[in-house]
């Protein structure tokens, strides 16, 4: 009996295990068509979108994942050429600019429609801008409207009457926007989500116009005007958009829809791509870049991106007196071997940066006094009273917790020790703590980055005006402020304006409250079946021009 039991029991256990595994495994069998295969046949693009979008309201959101979805759902007065980002007619079929560059008159398409079939008029744009600037809404992109006459005053609540703002619908299809100054990049701003129109009656049906986060952006409620419209939103699972039949150019839209998948983890995302779950990833793990470069170069999107990685320096002298001396700051900059950082540490196609504005931003390229020159760095340090680093207090380098930032910080730490005999202490903090430290000036040197909002050097240079919220270095220069705030906006030509910008950037690079390290590059994967996904400096996904072709 005992031996019977032994056999019986083993069989029992084994049978249980087999049963469990086989039941589960059988459940897994069946249709094993991948998303990519299914998507190619149905013309549905599977898009890795980074994180779950916070919201879809274009006047509230600030992140890239949200902007990606909004590119599909909305369209502004102008749209952009896929590669060059040159302004193209969008909801406005044409526009004219006054001789002084201050008044833009847009003609709205007569066949412009909302996704529910309602006609889209100039009034819709005027109302949308009123709502977007409304002080109660809390639009974090309110600075995007500042070129418009009195927009800043209205959004800050100092002007209550919107009729004083330079926005007016003169008739059903004519919108006039008046600016404070000629703003050459203004058309580029209009393609940004903060300028998208929103459907008035839908918003008013779900609350006050300035109420954040009402139900108007839910499937079934949301009315938009772009090439696609919202079909489904499953929290943390996917957002589905489908072709909008009322879009004026719907016949030219090749995709039937897009599935935006929130892919929080880049390692998981890369595996999903390999398993055919995604057409496009949001990112690519650093350690996989070389593998794809070597084996699947046609699937790797690795192009310049309008962003700069830099180190902020607290110039106030309150946390480290030595850093208030620009000679010390230049010595640090000269001791940092940027090529080594981009080739040995980041390895993602980034380029060493010696200016804050990425070269070639809308045709703007400036010269830089910065260079890698340890010899000169040592001389500068001696001039500043710290020969061979003697007497220079230990510098603390702050970065937000991330493996890639840590590696760069360790690299810089070693470079400064080796070349200048400066001791660097690393301090990492989680994102929110790091932001609090930076904002409160409780740092000496900190890792930072800036991605351009629009294609113009101004997006990188106006950060550094005195007391600007993004400055955080304590640095202040009256001439710089005047160049950025007064002189450049008043310039008559783009050449003149760029010359003033270069002057401003020269001041910035001479006094060096920030040390540019490298210019970003895009790093993500694209399945060969995806066509029309062109690289552009802002990495804007222009879904209207994308299509899917079977690669079998």
Partner 1 sequence: MLRFTLTRLLQAIPVLLAVVTITFFLVRAAPGDPLSSDKSMPPSVLRALEAQYNLDQPMWQQFTGYVGNLLQGDFGPSFKYPGRSVNELIAAGLPTTAELGLYAMLVAILIGISAGVFAALRPNTAQDYIPMSAAMLGICMPSFLLGPLLVLVFGLWLDWLPISGWGDTPGDKILPAITLGAAYAAYVARLSRGGMLEVMSQDYIRTARAKGLPQWVIVIKHGLRGGLIPVVAFLGPAFAGLLSGSFVVETIFQIPGMGRLYVQGAFNRDYTLIMGTTVLFATLIILFNLLSDLLSVWLNPKLRQQYQGSK
Residue 237 lies near partner 1 (rule: CB under 8 A): yes
Distance in Å, CB of 529 to partner 1, minimum? 19
Of 138 and 528, which CB lies nearer to partner 1 in the complex structure? Answer: 138
Would you count residue 283 as binding partner 1 (CB under 8 A)? no
Q: Rule CB under 8 A: choose which of 27, 117, 220, 297 binds partner 1.
A: 27
Residue 4 makes CB contacts below 8 A (sequence gap 6+) with none
- Give the Cα separation of 535 and 532 in Å (integer): 9
Q: How far apart are CA 233 and CA 258, in angstroms?
A: 12
Q: How far is the CB of 27 from partner 1 (least distance, A)?
A: 4
CB of 102 to partner 1, least distance (A): 23
220 near partner 1 (CB under 8 A): no
310 in Cβ contact with 316 (< 8 Å): no
Residue indicated by tokens 């007065």: 77
Binding residues among 419-478 for partner 1 as defined by CB under 8 A = 430-433, 435-437, 439, 448, 468-470, 472
Maximum C-alpha span of the chain = 104
| Minimum CB distance to partner 1, residue 157 (Å) | 6
Distance of alpha carbon 412 from its chain centroid, rounded? 26
Q: What is the pattern of x (binds partner 1, CB under 8 A) and - over residues 359-378?
A: --------------------
Applying CB under 8 A, what is the total number of residues that bind partner 1?
68
With CB under 8 A as the contact rule, the residue among 7, 18, 275, 490 that binds partner 1 is 275
Candidates 202, 277, 314, 319; binder of partner 1 (CB under 8 A) is 277
> In 3D, which of 498, 197, 523 has the Cα closest to residue 347?
523
Closest CA to 503 of 482, 518, 476, 474: 482
With binding defined as CB under 8 A, does residue 235 bind partner 1?
Answer: yes
> Interface residues for partner 1 in 78-137 (CB under 8 A)?
135-137
Structural contact between residues 46 and 277, judged by C-beta atoms closer than 8 angstroms: yes
Q: Which of residues 137-176 bind partner 1 (CB under 8 A)?
A: 137-140, 142-143, 155-157
339 binds partner 1 (CB under 8 A): no
Task: Tell the smallest beta-carbon distance from residue 538 to partner 1 (Å).
Answer: 16
Q: Are strands 167-171 and 174-178 parallel, antiparallel or unpaired?
A: antiparallel
CB nearer to partner 1: pick between 350 and 453: 453
CA dist., res. 253 & res. 247, Å (int): 9
Which pair of tokens denotes residue 1?
A: 């009996």
Whether the CB-CB separation of 427 and 406 falls below 8 Å is answered with no
DSSP string across 184-211: TTHHHHTTSGGG----HHHHHHTS-TT-
User: What three-state secondary structure class fits 494?
Assistant: helix
Closer to partner 1 by Cβ: residue 188 or 349: 188
Burial 457-479 (b: 16+ CB within 10 A, else e): bbbbbbbbbeebeebbbbbbbee
| Tokens matching residue 316 | 């106030």
Work out how close the CB of 451 gets to partner 1 at its nearest, in angstroms, rounded to a whole number. Answer: 10
Q: How far is CA 159 from CA 146, 152, 154, 305, in A?
A: 13, 9, 5, 38
Q: Is 24 in the site for partner 1 (CB under 8 A)?
A: yes
Binding residues among 292-321 for partner 1 as defined by CB under 8 A: none
CB atoms within 10 A of CB 300: 23
**Which stretches of 336-471 are DSSP H helices?**
338-340, 374-383, 403-420, 431-439, 458-461
CB of 280 to partner 1, least distance (A): 15
> Pick from 11, 41, 42, 54: which binds partner 1 (CB under 8 A)?
54
Choices 23-31, 159-167, 338-346, 420-428 (CB under 8 A): range interacting with partner 1: 23-31
Q: Which position among 264, 394, 495, 549 is part of the footprint of partner 1 (CB under 8 A)?
A: 264
Closer CB to partner 1, residue 30 or residue 220?
30
Nearer to partner 1 among residue 470 and residue 476 (C-beta): 470
The four Cα atoms 123, 125, 130, 134 give a dihedral, to 10 degrees, of 150
What's the angle, vertex CA 322, arms to CA 317 and CA 328, rounded to 5? Answer: 125
Q: Could you say whether residue 5 binds partner 1 (CB under 8 A)?
A: yes
Q: By C-beta, is 214 or 250 nearer to partner 1?
A: 214
Please list every residue from 55 through 74 that binds partner 1, using CB under 8 A: 55, 57, 60, 62
Nearer to partner 1, 81 or 275 (CB): 275
| Closer of 382 and 470 to partner 1 (Cβ) | 470
CA distance 153 to 497: 25
Interface with partner 1 by CB under 8 A: which residues? 1-2, 5, 8-10, 13, 16-17, 20, 24-25, 27-32, 52, 54-55, 57, 60, 62, 135-140, 142-143, 155-157, 212-215, 217, 234-237, 261, 263-265, 267-268, 271-272, 274-275, 277, 430-433, 435-437, 439, 448, 468-470, 472
């Amino acid at each position: 009996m005992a031996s019977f039991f032994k056999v019986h029991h083993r069989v029992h256990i084994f049978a249980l295990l087999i049963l469990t595994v086989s039941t589960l495994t059988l459940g897994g069998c069946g249709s094993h068509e991948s998303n990519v295969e299914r998507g190619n046949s149905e013309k549905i693009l599977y898009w890795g979108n980074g994180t779950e979008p916070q919201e879809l309201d274009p006047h509230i959101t600030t992140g890239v994942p949200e902007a990606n979805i909004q590119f599909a759902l909305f369209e502004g007065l102008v749209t952009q050429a896929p590669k060059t980002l040159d302004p193209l007619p969008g909801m406005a079929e044409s526009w004219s600019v006054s001789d002084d560059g201050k008044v833009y008159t847009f003609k709205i398409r007569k066949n412009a429609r909302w996704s529910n079939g309602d006609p889209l008029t100039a009034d819709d744009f005027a109302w949308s801008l009123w709502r977007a600037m409304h002080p109660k809404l809390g639009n974090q992109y309110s600075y995007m409207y500042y070129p418009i006459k009195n927009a800043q005053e209205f959004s800050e609540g100092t002007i209550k009457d919107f009729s004083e703002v330079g926005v007016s619908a003169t008739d059903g299809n004519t919108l006039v926007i008046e600016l404070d100054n000629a703003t050459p990049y203004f058309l580029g701003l209009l393609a940004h989500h903060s300028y998208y129109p929103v459907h008035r009656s839908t918003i008013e049906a779900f609350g006050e116009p300035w109420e954040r986060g009402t139900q108007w952006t839910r499937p079934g409620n949301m009315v938009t005007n772009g090439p696609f419209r919202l079909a489904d939103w499953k929290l943390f699972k996917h957002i589905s958009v489908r072709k909008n039949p009322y879009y004026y150019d719907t016949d030219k839209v090749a995709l039937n829809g897009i599935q935006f998948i929130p892919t929080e983890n880049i390692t998981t995302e890369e595996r999903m791509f390999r398993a055919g779950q995604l057409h496009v990833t949001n990112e690519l793990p650093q350690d996989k870049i070389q593998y794809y470069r070597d084996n699947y170069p046609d699937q790797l999107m690795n192009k310049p991106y309008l962003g700069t990685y830099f180190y902020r320096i607290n110039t106030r002298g309150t946390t480290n007196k030595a850093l208030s001396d620009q000679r010390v700051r230049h010595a640090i900059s000269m001791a940092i071997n940027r090529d080594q950082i981009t080739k040995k540490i980041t390895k993602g196609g980034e380029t060493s940066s010696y200016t804050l504005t990425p070269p070639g931003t809308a045709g703007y390229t400036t010269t830089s006094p910065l260079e890698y020159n340890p010899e000169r760095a040592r001389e500068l340090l001696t001039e500043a009273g710290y020969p061979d680093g003697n007497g220079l207090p230990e510098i603390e380098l702050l970065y937000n917790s991330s493996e890639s930032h840590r590696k760069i910080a360790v690299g810089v730490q070693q470079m400064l020790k080796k070349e200048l005999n400066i001791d660097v202490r690393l301090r990492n903090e989680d994102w929110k703590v790091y932001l609090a430290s930076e904002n409160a000036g409780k740092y000496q040197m900190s890792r930072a980055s800036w991605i351009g909002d629009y294609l113009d050097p101004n997006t990188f240079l106006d950060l550094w005006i005195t007391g600007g919220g993004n400055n955080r270095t304590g640095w202040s220069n009256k001439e710089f402020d005047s160049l950025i705030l007064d002189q450049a906006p008043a310039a008559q030509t783009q050449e003149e304006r760029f010359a003033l910008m270069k002057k401003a950037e020269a001041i910035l690079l001479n006094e060096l409250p920030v040390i540019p390290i490298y210019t970003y590059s895009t790093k993500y994967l694209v399945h060969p079946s995806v066509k029309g996904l062109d690289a552009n400096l802002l990495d804007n996904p222009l879904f209207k021009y994308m299509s899917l072709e079977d690669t079998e």
